[in-house]
Amino acid sequence: MVTIDEMAAFCKRKGIIFPSSEIYGGLAGFFDYGPLGSEIKKNLKDAWWKYHVHDREDVVGIDGSIILHPKVWEASGHLANFDDIMVECMKCKERYRADQVVEELLNIHAAGLKPEDLTKLIKENHIRCLKCKGEFSDAKPFNMMFQTFIGPLQTQEARAFLRPETAQNIFVDFKSIVETARLKLPFGIAQMGRSFRNEIAPRNFLFRCREFEQMEIEYFIHPSKLDDCPYLKDVLNHKLFVFSAEMQTKKQPHQELSIKECLDKRIITTAWHAYWLAMEHQWFVSLGADATKFRIRQHVSDEKSHYALDTWDLEYEFPFGWKELQGMANRTDYDLKQHMKHSGKDLSLFDEDTKQKVIPHVVAEPSQGVDRAFLVFLFNAYHEDKQRGNVVLKLHQRLAPFKIGVFPLLSNRDELLTKAREVFQVLRQDFPALYDKSGSIGRRYARMDEMGTPYSVTIDFDSLKHNDVTVRDRDSTKQVRVKLAELKDTLRKLLGRELPFHKAGTPYEPSAKE
């Protein structure tokens, strides 16, 4: 598998992602999506919204502000608790995340350890600065909230924060959303948008940034119906790798289990949690990701966030190890109750079925980063094809930035150029398409491979005689001839995976010159 640094270099070369403000030396933890990357990201977010909001009757979406009332963060606990543990080199002043240093050098799981435990491990194992071998300070908490000021005065009263998670807009808008969308339990509220965390050590390209996007759902359930999930039967036979807290403590490997087995053996204790874990795994697989590269891992007891009763992460096997893609916490009624206490407003609702006034629970919170999902799909798609001599980005059709490339076979023949432009103008009405006449046809196919364009349409001399074109499949390089009159329909079926490529037209072998 390609390394994370090689992936970052590929992304920069192809205009997928650039380091932000690069002409000024870049800014650690900030990235800009380029022409191709912004298209892929948009497709990814649209696919998430369709699966989680439009395809469901029980989920609605919102789009909230990035800066919220400062009291929100007091109530949510982020101001007091949203910390990473930091150590500083006493010689060169370099700062590190203490758990990461310990994990890397001692090869143990250190997330969630207290500052005093990390200090002890560092001292006992004589761990020193990775840069200058200087001695480390004691480990201490560092709050990751980004601070700003509202209005012209930079006073304590004007202090505000950029949100570190999108979830809080959902909790503070809860009453208005429920009333205006006439929601009945159980229901979910979804949001995607920017979040900011002043990470001590941003690293691994898009994996840990200071500015990133999240796609989150808070799913609300009646407090006495935590196990009453009407959709559970749809996922009972779904299998995935499971790494429970017990397996981790006993140093056992993860196991492949069905959702039914997880619930029967009480590995996952609530039906809703199990349901959403399976749904999230299925979402990645539905967009072409390899199912066996994922596992669900339960947080061990001292790893959980301040608000969580039980948390499972959906993890992916990146080249730098198994890492969190989604955190799915059982937040109980913690957030709604905290906001009731701090705002003095009643956020309970009347449940028509039970005729009870209740504060709903969030048993599962499918919460993921757009940028981490983006990385998963890139790693999954990236293939170095030795025979072709170029990279092939085998992105799922729905994620590909452009669906069709259109070319004249030769770029110096007016009759081919005119016809190719005609075909391009027709196709681009229905598909994101790209016209390219520069370089040899082989070079143009290679460019499409590297951009992930699923199909390339070429207009050759036979096209002028027979009103047809060649269509090339990115993944197999096979070609077929398709009549112009049938082209749009054929491409639509191919992109919708309704037609296997070999049935899309008459098989065509390009001449050696092509």
Binding footprint of ligand GAP on the chain (CB under 6 A): 165, 167, 197, 199, 208-209, 212, 214, 216, 324-327, 365, 367-369, 371-372
The least distance separating ligand GAP from the CB of residue 314, rounded to whole angstroms, comes to 8
Q: Between residues 210 and 222, which has the closer beta carbon with respect to ligand GAP? A: 210
Contacts of 128 (CB under 8 A, 6+ apart): 89, 134, 135, 136
Amino acid of residue 27: L
The least distance separating ligand GAP from the CB of residue 202, rounded to whole angstroms, comes to 7
Q: Between residues 178 and 209, which has the closer beta carbon with respect to ligand GAP? A: 209
Amino acid of residue 352: E
Q: Between residues 109 and 128, which has the closer beta carbon with respect to ligand GAP? A: 109
3-state secondary structure 305-339: CCCCCEEEEEEEEECCEEEEEEEEEECECHHHHHH
Alpha-carbon torsion angle 43, 45, 50, 52, nearest 10: 150
The least distance separating ligand GAP from the CB of residue 185, rounded to whole angstroms, comes to 20
**How many secondary structure helices (H) and strands (E) does the chain include?**
17, 27
Using an 8 Å Cβ cutoff, are 241 and 294 in contact?
yes
Using an 8 Å Cβ cutoff, are 345 and 339 in contact?
yes
According to DSSP H, which parts of 82-209 are helical? 98-106, 115-124, 167-172, 174-181
The least distance separating ligand GAP from the CB of residue 195, rounded to whole angstroms, comes to 7
Amino acid of residue 157: E
The least distance separating ligand GAP from the CB of residue 400, rounded to whole angstroms, comes to 23
Q: Between residues 367 and 458, which has the closer beta carbon with respect to ligand GAP? A: 367
Task: Give the C-alpha distances (Å, rounded to integers) separating 185 from 142, 178, 387, 413.
Answer: 38, 10, 56, 65
Q: Between residues 330 and 397, which has the closer beta carbon with respect to ligand GAP? A: 330
Q: Between residues 28 and 132, which has the closer beta carbon with respect to ligand GAP? A: 28
In terms of Cβ atoms closer than 10 Å to its own Cβ (0-12, 13-18, 19+), residue 285 is middle
The least distance separating ligand GAP from the CB of residue 508, rounded to whole angstroms, comes to 44
Q: Between residues 368 and 453, which has the closer beta carbon with respect to ligand GAP? A: 368
Using an 8 Å Cβ cutoff, are 30 and 210 in contact?
yes
Q: Pairing between strand 159-162 and 433-435?
A: unpaired
User: Which residues is 193 bridged to in the sheet?
Assistant: 214
Using an 8 Å Cβ cutoff, are 299 and 256 in contact?
no
The least distance separating ligand GAP from the CB of residue 71, rounded to whole angstroms, comes to 18
Q: Between residues 59 and 406, which has the closer beta carbon with respect to ligand GAP? A: 59
The least distance separating ligand GAP from the CB of residue 162, rounded to whole angstroms, comes to 13
Q: Pairing between strand 455-459 and 404-408?
A: parallel
DSSP summary character for residue 87? E
Using an 8 Å Cβ cutoff, are 276 and 366 in contact?
yes
The least distance separating ligand GAP from the CB of residue 329, rounded to whole angstroms, comes to 6
Q: Is the CA virtual torsion 324, 321, 295, 245 positive or negative?
A: negative
Q: Between residues 8 and 325, which has the closer beta carbon with respect to ligand GAP? A: 325
The least distance separating ligand GAP from the CB of residue 76, rounded to whole angstroms, comes to 10
Q: Between residues 199 and 436, which has the closer beta carbon with respect to ligand GAP? A: 199
Q: Give residue 375's Cα distance to chain centre.
A: 7
